[in-house]
Amino acid sequence: MSGTSVAASGLPAAIAARLDVARVRAEFPILATRVHGKPLVYLDNAATTQKPQPVIDALSRYYRAENANIHRGVHYLSQLATDGYEGAREKVARFLNAASAREIVFVRGATEGINLVAQSYGRSVLRPGDEILITGMEHHSNIVPWQLLAEQTGTVLRVAPLTDAGELDLAAFDRLLGPRTRLVSVVHLSNALGTVNPVRRITAAARGLGIPVLVDGAQSAPHLGVDVQALDCDFFVFSGHKLFGPTGIGVLYGREALLDRMPPWQGGGDMISSVTFERSTWAALPAKFEAGTPHIAGAIGLGVAVDWLSAIGLEAVVAHEDDLLRYATAEVGRIPGATLIGTARDRASILSFALDGVHAHDIGQVLDLEGIAIRAGHHCAQPVMQRYGVAATARASFALYNTRAEVDALVAGLAKVKQVFAQ
Amino acid sequence: MTELSALYQDVILEHNRSPRNFRRMDDADRHAEGRNPLCGDQLTVWLKLDGDVIADVSFEGSGCAISKASASLMTAAVKGKTRADVARLFERFHGVVTGRAAGEGQSDGLGKLAVFSGISAFPVRVKCATLSWHALKAALENGAEPVSTE
């Protein structure tokens, strides 16, 4: 069950302070929305989270009072924007416990971060016959970039299998970690199954063989809390919009020694030291990987989001979400005909399920008419669906502003689904 | 009628539970696959032609109640029809489910297919209702490539 995810996140397993959910909810204007005449019950947080007022205000303030291009102007506003952007990098570095802000590269999101590593690190290091090892529970964003790389470099993609409960088969993983493995890329918290992977166990095994590990933290960064030094990973990616921040901004963390050796990914302004028609040289980290004008407002908004989340405290968030997941698992689990997809011992914030005789889209449709937002589909993880023999699942995913009353609304909604589709 | 019962009409729920012509056809003249990559719905439509007439038609696959019931009702509606009849029927059906042909008399001649008129209030479900029709069209045109409604 989910009770051990506090330990898995690298946070102290202290008794967390109680989360003041009413106060948290009051910071999210959108949660007052009514849908089809019913109060919105937003349970699609794994797709994207809603935004608190301080993040919305930061975006608005930036465009009202601080907007300019960064790193090039001597004028007042350019300095203000640069300070805001670089200040956000410092905030993210603290949030992830990176050794230095130079290890924080702003990208569009987790997907772009993985593509950057594949195209920069992968293309410069990998040779035909080399292997990349992923797991059977990856999101398409941690499969397809490696397939593209495999086509370009003649490398081979290996996939560690899952157990029936939705856990990584560690014995099989260890066997696949071989002399030809050059990179391991694993999801921290599965978006389709809710499984928390034993990342420290994985990085320890890879470290012994000198193999770098990329961790896809799109779901874990907002729901587990992350310490990249404790995880001992080499790369870590996450998306701002799943962490109460804006869309279009995300983070690639990379160990400085690795980022230093990697060639640039995209060329353009801001990433150079000098340019002539014969030859250009690259800027120092992290500018080397940030060609062109970045999403300045987005980075500033993300900086506000990580500070906002840290101020609430990840321990309290994890405890609250674990309680919701335990409650939802029990309540949905007792519905006749309901099957949970993903029953790993260590899970967090995500409940994937199927109802006998009712397709996930129809579940999602009936719930929507009750004001309840869930995700129905393959969750960009088609191989996971194939592994468990389902075309699609319904997924409720929780965030710190959700309540047990909303879980009750979900269960009542599912009773309605069953009534509509009763034999 | 509530939004819910306008969408999930009894005929739709009944065809979802007991789809007609839901089988592989091993001696089919033609077949085509329809896929909805965003939601993962997938179905195959098989055909037997007698000249210009659809002598037999069947389907198989997985999808939501709307896509399954639509495929079921489609097979019942097109059996014995000519290509030209089918093309006209699809055009009419499409107009009704997208709401482009809303209004008096637009469902005339659609028969049971008129139960899908409630779809027009749910634009994201139009692709569910038309998936089997796109596959049928592809099979009639003898296209081997899977068709997609995305």
Helix, coil or strand: residue A168:
strand
Helix (H) or strand (E) run with residue A135 in it:
strand A131-135
CA dihedral B51, B56, B62, B65 (to 10 degrees): 110
Q: Assess whether A71 and A8 both reside in one domain.
A: no
Q: Assess whether A233 and A367 both reside in one domain.
A: no
Helix (H) or strand (E) run with residue A340 in it:
strand A338-340
Tokens representing A240 are 């701002």
Q: B40 and A362 in contact by Cβ < 8 A? A: no
Considering its fold, how many domains does chain A have in total? 2
Q: Assess whether A191 and A268 both reside in one domain.
A: yes
CB A327 within 8 A of CB A373: no
CATH number for the domain harbouring residue B19? 3.90.1010.10
H-only helix segments in A36-132: 53-61, 76-96, 110-116, 123-125
- In A171-230, the residues whose Cβ lies within 8 Å of chain B are none
Is residue B147 one of the residues assigned to a domain?
no
- Please report residues of A whose CB lies closer than 8 A to that of B1: none
CB A410 within 8 A of CB A367: yes
Q: Which of A86, A103, A97, A122 is nearest to A294 (CA)?
A: A86
Q: Assess whether A326 and A262 both reside in one domain.
A: no
Chain B residue closest in CA terms to A385: B40
- Minimal CA separation from A326 to chain B, in Å: 28
Q: Assess whether A264 and A288 both reside in one domain.
A: yes
How far, CA to CA in Å, does A270 sit from each of A158, A233, A323? 36, 28, 46
Q: Assess whether A149 and A169 both reside in one domain.
A: yes
3-state DSSP of A136-149: CCCCHHHCHHHHHH
Spell out the per-residue pLDDT of chain A, length 423, in tens. 343 343 344 344 444 468 999 999 999 999 999 999 999 999 999 999 999 999 999 999 999 999 999 987 789 999 999 999 999 999 999 999 999 999 999 999 999 999 999 999 999 999 999 999 999 999 999 999 999 999 999 999 999 999 999 999 999 999 999 999 999 999 999 999 999 999 999 999 999 999 999 999 999 999 999 999 999 999 999 999 999 999 999 999 999 999 999 999 999 988 999 999 999 999 999 999 999 999 999 999 999 999 999 999 999 999 999 999 999 999 999 999 999 999 999 999 999 999 999 999 999 999 999 999 999 988 899 999 999 988 889 999 999 999 999 999 999 999 999 999 986
- In A8-47, the residues whose Cβ lies within 8 Å of chain B are 36
pLDDT recorded at residue A222 = 96
Q: B64 and A361 in contact by Cβ < 8 A? A: yes
Closest Cβ opposite residue B39 in set A366, A392, A423: A392
Where in the sequence is the domain holding A304, given as residue range(s)? 55-310
Where do we find the tokens 């963390």? A253
Q: How far apart, in whole angstroms, are the C-alpha atoms of residue A318 and residue A355?
A: 28
Q: Assess whether A41 and A187 both reside in one domain.
A: no
Q: How far apart, in whole angstroms, are the C-alpha atoms of residue A240 and residue A221?
A: 9
Where do we find the tokens 């990616």? A237
How far, CA to CA in Å, does A334 sit from each of A258, A411, A413? 49, 10, 14
Helix (H) or strand (E) run with residue B58 in it:
strand B53-62
- Please report residues of B whose CB lies closer than 8 A to that of A358: 65
Q: B122 and A365 in contact by Cβ < 8 A? A: yes
Closest Cβ opposite residue B8 in set A376, A420, A423: A420
Q: A359 and B7 in contact by Cβ < 8 A? A: no
- In A354-383, the residues whose Cβ lies within 8 Å of chain B are 357-362, 365-366, 369, 376-378, 382
pTM for the whole structure = 0.92
Is residue B148 one of the residues assigned to a domain?
no
Chain A residue closest in CA terms to B123: A365
Q: Assess whether A280 and A318 both reside in one domain.
A: no
- Please say if the pLDDT value at position B36 is more than 90: no
Q: B39 and A369 in contact by Cβ < 8 A? A: no
Q: Assess whether A20 and A31 both reside in one domain.
A: yes
Tokens representing A238 are 């996450």
pLDDT recorded at residue B148 = 66
Chain B residue closest in CA terms to A370: B4
A223 CB neighbour count, 10 Å cutoff: 32
Q: Assess whether A286 and A365 both reside in one domain.
A: no
Q: A361 and B122 in contact by Cβ < 8 A? A: no
Tokens representing B57 are 């038609």
Is residue B150 one of the residues assigned to a domain?
no
**Phi, psi at residue A267, to the nearest 5°?**
-105, 155
Burial class (CB in 10 A: 0-12, 13-18, 19+), A222: buried
pLDDT recorded at residue A1 = 37
3-state DSSP of B121-150: HCHHHHHHHHHHHHHHHHHHCCCCCCEECC
Q: Assess whether A302 and A337 both reside in one domain.
A: no
**Phi, psi at residue B133, to the nearest 5°?**
-65, -40
Closest Cβ opposite residue A392 in set B40, B122, B125: B40
- Please say if the pLDDT value at position B73 is more than 60: yes
- Minimal CA separation from B4 to chain A, in Å: 7
Q: Any idea what DSSP says for residue B31?
A: E
Is residue B36 one of the residues assigned to a domain?
yes
- Say if residue A161 is preceded by a cis peptide, omega within 30 of 0: no
- Minimal CA separation from B83 to chain A, in Å: 32
Burial class (CB in 10 A: 0-12, 13-18, 19+), A6: buried
CB A384 within 8 A of CB A195: no
Chain A residue closest in CA terms to B43: A391
Q: B8 and A362 in contact by Cβ < 8 A? A: yes
Q: How far apart, in whole angstroms, are the C-alpha atoms of residue A351 and residue A396?
A: 5
- Please report residues of A whose CB lies closer than 8 A to that of B4: 366, 369, 420
Tell me the per-residue pLDDT of A183-241, one tens digit each, with 9 for 90 and over: 999 999 999 999 999 999 999 999 999 999 999 999 999 999 999 999 999 999 999 99
Is residue B39 one of the residues assigned to a domain?
yes
Amino acid present at B112:
K
Q: A421 and B16 in contact by Cβ < 8 A? A: yes
Considering its fold, how many domains does chain B have in total? 1
CA dihedral B127, B128, B134, B135 (to 10 degrees): 140
- Please report residues of B whose CB lies closer than 8 A to that of A391: 40-42, 62-63
Q: A36 and B3 in contact by Cβ < 8 A? A: yes
Tell me the per-residue pLDDT of A14-63, one tens digit each, with 9 for 90 and over: 444 689 999 999 999 999 999 999 999 999 999 999 999 999 999 999 99
The interface pTM score, or ipTM, of the predicted complex is: 0.88
Q: How far apart, in whole angstroms, are the C-alpha atoms of residue A43 and residue A49?
A: 9
Cβ within 8 Å of residue B76, ≥6 positions away: B20, B21, B112
Q: How far apart, in whole angstroms, are the C-alpha atoms of residue A247 and residue A178?
A: 38
Q: Any idea what DSSP says for residue A189?
A: B
pLDDT recorded at residue B145 = 55
Is residue B79 one of the residues assigned to a domain?
yes
Q: Assess whether A260 and A332 both reside in one domain.
A: no
Tokens representing A1 are 């069950």
**What residues of chain B have any CB closer than 8 angstroms to a CB in chain A?**
3-4, 7-8, 13, 16-17, 38-42, 62-66, 68, 122, 125, 128
Tokens representing B128 are 């569910």
Catalytic residues of A: 380
Radius of gyration of chain B (CA): 14
Closest Cβ opposite residue A423 in set B17, B63, B125: B17
How far, CA to CA in Å, does B16 sit from each of A7, A357, B61? 46, 9, 12
Is residue B80 one of the residues assigned to a domain?
yes
Amino acid present at A207:
R
Closest Cβ opposite residue B65 in set A36, A359, A376: A359
How far, CA to CA in Å, does A138 sit from each of A159, A208, A255, A267, A347? 9, 24, 22, 29, 15
Where in the sequence is the domain holding B71, given as residue range(s)? 3-141
Helix, coil or strand: residue A375:
strand
What distance lies between CA B46 and its chain's CA centroid? Answer: 13
Task: Output the CA angle A270-A276-A279, nearest 5 degrees.
Answer: 90
